Structure 1
């Protein structure tokens, strides 16, 4: 079965399966969806009378069918996913979607890869942050079953009559309030994941020096955006006790490693690339790079830029010491020449005595 045939049969079968589960009068249509790290054709399912629908990745379903050959299994999984989506569709007042004063209270900040999303970035307001891009999203609802949100586009803010600068200012004010940054030690995160009993069973100490921290937001959805919060870097520096490296674990969270001289940026970079290649799905990947925050000079930058800056500082200090040392040597040599140019004390005395007709004893 080719892709177009699959789409047609899947649409008809899904309608029947949904009807059997009590979901009647659904409208189905296909749309191209462009999201961070993703671009795919979606089957949009909307119940009659509802202004919000569910987007289902039909390309992913077809890929699963091609891989397994199990059409019935793919249909069952697709029906279940769409049913869950319809049951959790948020109630949205569409009149608010064009009302910026109502929507700005839902503004959130996210960071994505600038290279991977180069085409998307031409259509949305964003800021550059090294090789990442800071983007904006209206979060309508977020709970354990998922999140309903809208990526802010250039067309959207033009229609609302809002400037890029105003959007940025409002997002920087609101995002930390509705989705505050949460920084936890890795042992604390493990304790939460494993539960206190399992944590103790493995003999892990209650109190230990944290070698790594995790930063995200409370719902851990697109939490890497905390990087762009105005006070995040200094808050993290205070918690970690100074300078630190930033490892982009995914678009959902970042890892912070204290810069205490024990870790080399190259080793951390290799670790990030290995994890991205083996454990992070393409749609959740941020970047392969490592970053550094200089808490004294308040500079966030790529780790390689930090290393280059430190090398330049070291070379400048060496040059200054060399110049200072050279200056001291020059002063000594000049002094030696000055002394050498003066006649010895005895010669000077003889000349003075003879001038008076006397004799030196």
Structure 2
């Protein structure tokens, strides 16, 4: 059975299974576009509700190709639908249409601008190097995570607000409802494996984890106001930012012990072997220059450093020439004019 025939048969089987369980539902086949992923889905919702649960047809088809009968697949996904209904957030549609109420629920997250280029066309966002900062309303918390709504251009039009106002409100409210946490890696690992990780003094900690309390879409903290400055104070200066996932970032002290290239190779390997595609941020490493207050790709930072070294070397050579000229002039004033001419020629060639 090919994919299209399976999709029809699976939808019918799922509807029949839910009917046996007494659920009065409507099923709709649609394409779901989410950050980092898009998939064919069957949306199931109660006939008297606007809240639905999405079931991935592609995952169901994968189970079928592995030999699982359609009725058994339908039973499994019917369980998932019932669980989704139980854990779905409580949405007050009246408050949802009132921006003054909703703005207090604004959060921020960062995603790959390249992977989500098409979806970002319909979503208000700000660029942060090769990432994009997007905004969500956090509706409710359940055992399985947060119920959220991605803010789209359509929503902005309905609210009658600008992208600038949305950003300003998010910058004010997101750090309040989902504050950032920066913790040493040894502390985090000790919680995962009590008694297995030796204690590390705060001043000796080389790597830190930055996220939010519930660890969901926590990488967005890097867009918070003053986050970089606060992190630099904790880190004792400049640091690299590693996009561990959309849920957290790693901060590594820039103390000369490891290069940006080595860190980027590590990020690429971890993304390829340990992070689900839907949770990946980017393969690049970033750097924060605490003296100049600049967040940028690590490659850009290193290029700035090389350019600064060239300028410093040039200034040093010119300074040496001027000192030599002054020494010669003191010994033999008649040679001063010749020295000046040679110095100008050298400066012109630089």
Q: TM-score, normalised by structure 2?
A: 0.91
The Cα offsets for residues 144-197 of structure 1, whole Å up to 9 and x where unpaired, read as 212211111111101110111100100110111111111111111112222xxx
Distance verdict in 2 for CA 1:312–1:95, change over 3 Å: same
Contact 1:182 1:217 in 2 (8 A): yes
What is the Cα deviation at residue 207 of structure 1?
A: 4.4
Q: Where does residue 81 of structure 1 map in the other structure?
A: 80
In 1: Cα distance, 2:197 partner to 2:148 partner: 42
2: CA distance, partners of 1:203 / 1:224: 25
CA shift for structure 1 position 203:
5.8
User: CA 1:258–1:338 in structure 2 vs 1: closer, same or farther (change >3 Å)?
Assistant: same
Number of residue pairs matched by the alignment = 335
- Structure 1 residue 338: Cα displacement: 2.3
Q: Which residue of 1 aligns with 2:143?
A: 144
Instruction: Name the residue aligned to 1:240.
Output: 235
8 Å CA contact 1:143–1:219 kept in 2: the answer is: no
Q: Is the 8 A contact 2:123 2:151 kept in 1?
A: yes
State the 1:339 CA deviation.
7.5
Residue 332 (structure 1) shift: 1.6
Partner of 2:270: 275
- The separation in 1 between residues aligned to 2:130 and 2:57, in whole angstroms, is 31
Whether the aligned pair in 2 keeps the contact of 1:51 and 1:92 (CA below 8 Å) is no
Decide whether the 8 Å contact of 1:247 with 1:272 is kept in 2: yes
Determine whether 1:218 maps to 2:213: yes
For the Cα contact (< 8 Å) 2:264–2:285, is it kept in 1? Answer: yes
The whole-number CA distance in structure 1 between the counterparts of 2:17 and 2:238 is 56
For the residue of structure 1 that corresponds to 2:51, the secondary structure is coil
Q: Residue 332 of structure 2 aligns to a residue in which SS?
A: helix
| Structure 1 length-normalised TM | 0.88
Contact 2:190 2:197 in 1 (8 A): no
Question: How far is the alpha carbon of 1:73 from its aligned partner?
Answer: 4.8
Name 1:13's counterpart in structure 2. Answer: 13
Structure 2 counterpart SS, 1:133? strand
Indicate if the aligned counterparts of 1:51 and 1:94 stay in contact, CA closer than 8 A. no
Runs of 4+ more than 4 Å apart:
67-70
Q: Which has the larger radius of gyration?
A: 1
Residues 339, 27 of structure 1: alpha-carbon distance in 2 compared, 3 angstrom cutoff:
closer
Query: What are the ranges of 5 or more consecutive residues in structure 2 without an aligned counterpart?
Result: 337-350
CA distance in structure 2 between the aligned counterparts of 1:214 and 1:92, rounded to whole angstroms: 33
Partner of 1:231: 226
What is the rounded CA distance, in whole Å, between the counterparts of 1:176 and 1:203 in structure 2? 31
Partner of 1:45: 44
Structural mapping, 1:1-361, within 5 Å: 1-21=1-21, 23-194=22-193, 199-200=194-195, 202=196, 204-205=198-199, 207=201, 209-338=204-333
- Kept in 2, the 8 Å contact 1:182–1:215? The answer is yes
**For structure 1, which runs of at least 5 residues remain unmatched after alignment?**
342-361
- Relative distance call for 1:173 and 1:15 in structure 2 (3 A) is same
C-alpha change, 1:281 and 1:203, in structure 2 (3 Å) is: closer
CA–CA distance in 2 between the matches of 1:274 and 1:128? Answer: 25
- Alpha carbons of 1:74 and 1:204: their partners in 2 closer, same or farther (altered >3 Å)? farther
- Equivalents in 1 of 2:258, 2:135: separation in Å? 33
Using the TM superposition, give the Cα deviation of residue 261 of structure 1 relative to its aligned residue in structure 2, in angstroms: 1.0
